[in-house]
A = this chain, B = another copy of it.
Amino acid sequence: MRAKEISSAVTKRLPRYYRYLSELKEQGAERISSKELSERMQVTASQIRQDLNNFGGFGQQGYGYNVEHLYNEIGKILGLNRTRKVIIVGAGHIGQALANYPDFEKRGFCICGIFDVAKEVVGDKVGSLIVQDMSRMPEFVKKEKIQIAILTVPKEEAAGIAKQLVDLGVEGFWNFALVDLKLSEGVVVENVHLEESLMNLAYNISRLDIVNSKLGVDYEEN
């Protein structure tokens, strides 16, 4: 696969293609046209064709896409065919929920360890792991060649821990702490800022309230 630059708008859509193709595969579909796929995904067929052309295009005129082939190719592009070693830092409610998430391994993410500073949780069993004391993290990360860390620590701690992990060789973060990590170039950060997502919901509901109350007034005026 050639490493050409593809806009992040396109690559951010790939997981969604992958999901729809996975469902088609489960349903036993062998091939699909961009038109059918566009109806299911509620995006235009031309967008689908353009998006997939970025990766060389996998469609054939008059046939459409071979579901299994396209699924596998997108999986490869997404890097899901590799195994990556991951730790979870922070064994609070979210950290524990993620440790119990069953689909990581399917995607090549091997959760090898979970760490916390709180004596109350160190030693607890979470999923198939035992919570370890944070002081053991550096040695573990080096020895196991951990590539990715999931951060579910308080926002005040996140930056310091992330920096420490980068120095230990960690290349990517799935960051649940509500802080923008400013790390050296070449380190990948994917944020899941739940509170901001919730605020987006609040905003959109407020807009709806305004629209509804405006409609209400218009009705009364008629």
What is the interface of chain A, defined by CB distance below 8 A to chain B?
Answer: 1, 3, 11-12, 14-16, 18-19, 41-42, 77-80, 82, 84, 93-94, 96-97, 100-101, 103-104, 107-109, 147-148, 171-172, 174, 178, 180, 182, 186, 188, 190, 192-212, 214
CA distance A97 to B90 in the complex (A): 13
Contact of A188 among B19, B77, B80, B205 (CB under 8 A): B205
Q: Is the CB of B147 within 8 A of A79?
A: no
Contact of A194 among B108, B172, B192 (CB under 8 A): B192
Q: Is the CB of A101 within 8 A of B108?
A: no
Cβ-closest 6 pairs across A and B: A79-B206, A15-B196, A93-B97, A15-B199, A190-B201, A97-B97
Q: Would A203 and B96 be within 8 Å (CB), given that A192-B194, A198-B109 are in contact?
A: no
Residues of B within 8 A of A199 (CB): 14-15, 18, 78, 80, 107
Contact of A93 among B15, B96, B200, B210 (CB under 8 A): B96
Q: A74 CB to closest chain B CB, in angstroms?
A: 9
Q: Is the CB of B96 within 8 A of A205?
A: no
Q: Is the CB of B203 within 8 A of A77?
A: yes
Q: Is the CB of B3 within 8 A of A84?
A: no
Q: Is the CB of A15 within 8 A of B205?
A: no
Q: Is the CB of A103 within 8 A of B195?
A: yes
Residues of B within 8 A of A148 (CB): 201, 205
CA distance A19 to B177 in the complex (A): 12
Residues of B within 8 A of A103 (CB): 195
Q: Is the CB of B16 within 8 A of A202?
A: no
Q: A14 CB to closest chain B CB, in angstroms?
A: 7
